[in-house]
Amino acid sequence: MAAHSARPRLTVLSGPSGVGKSTVVAHMRKEHPEVWLSVSATTRRPRPGERDGVHYFFVDDGEFDKLIANGELLEWAEFAGNRYGTPREAVMDRLDAGEPVLLEIDLQGARQIRESMPEAQLVFLAPPSWEELVRRLTGRGTEAPEVIERRLEAARTELAAESEFDTTLVNTSVEDVANELLALM
C-alpha cells in the first residue's frame, strides 16, 4: 500500500479579480481562525481599511526588488500594474511545523507553485457568470475604471485557465464555498 505523505497540504486559491476570494477566505477564517493564510508582499497602495502586515506587507519597488534578489519570495507576479509575492520563509515554517497553508494568489503565481511544489492543490474560484463578476468588481468600488478594465482583461485569461486547476468552486454563496474550501484543506 502506498504510504501517505506526512507533509500537510499547501492549498492555492486563485480566480479572477472580484470573484470573491478574500471574502470567502475571511468568512472561513472567522469561523476557523486556526486556518493560516500567507500574507503577501505587494507594491500596490493600501485600500482604505487595509493594514500593513495584516492584509499585505506594503512595500515600495526597491524593497520588492530586494525580496526577489534575496530569494525571499516563493513566487511573485505582476498583476494589473503592481507586483505581488508570497514570502517564502513563513510558508515553509508552517509546512515544516505540520500545519496546512493557504495562499490566495493570481494565476501566474499558481502556475509557479505548480512547478515548484507539484504536491500543492490548486483551487479555482469561478464566478456564477461574467456579468456577476463585472458587477462584483465594479460594486466593490476600490479601483478606478481603467484599473477595473485591466483586471477584467486579466480575468478573461484567468477564466480560460480553469482546467489547469485541481478543483473548481463556483462562488454563488460565500458560506457554501467557504465550507467547501475548508473541507478541501
Ligand X SMILES: Nc1nc2c(ncn2[C@@H]2O[C@H](COP(=O)(O)O)[C@@H](O)[C@H]2O)c(=O)[nH]1
Interacting residues toward ligand ATP by CB under 6 A:
15, 17-23, 136, 139-140, 171-174
Q: For the chain, give the number of residues.
A: 185
Nearest CB to ligand ATP, comparing residues 17 and 43:
17
Closest residue to ligand X in the complex (CB): 109
Is 21 one of the annotated binding-site residues? yes
Return all residues near 64 (Cβ < 8 A) that are at least 6 apart. 41, 43, 76, 83, 85
Least Å distance, CB 3 to ligand X, is 32
Count the Cβ atoms, other than its own, within 10 Å of residue 22.
Answer: 14
**Residue 21 beta carbon to ligand X: minimum distance, rounded to whole angstroms:** 6
3-class DSSP assignment, residue 74: strand
Minimum distance between the CB of residue 122 and ligand X, rounded to whole angstroms? 13
Closer residue to ligand ATP (CB): 112 or 171: 171
Interacting partner of 174 out of ligand ATP, ligand X, none (Cβ under 5 to 8 A depending on kind): ligand ATP
Task: State the residues that interact with ligand X by CB under 6 A.
Answer: 17, 21, 40, 44, 75-77, 79, 84-86, 104-106, 108-109
Q: CB-based contacts of 158: which residues, under 8 Å, 6+ apart?
A: 14, 15, 16, 106, 107
Helix (H, G, I), strand (E, B) or coil at 123: strand
* Separation of alpha carbons 142 and 146, rounded Å: 12
Query: Is 22 flagged in the annotation as binding?
Result: yes
- Report the nearest approach of ligand ATP to the CB of residue 83 (Å): 15
C-alpha cell at 123: 483551487
Residue closer to ligand ATP by CB (options 21, 111) is 21
Q: Select from ligand X, ligand ATP, none the partner in contact with residue 127, using the beta carbon and a kind-dependent cut-off of 5 to 8 Å.
A: none
**CA-wise closest residue to 79 among 26, 25, 117, 41:** 41
Residues tagged in the binding site annotation for ATP = 15-22
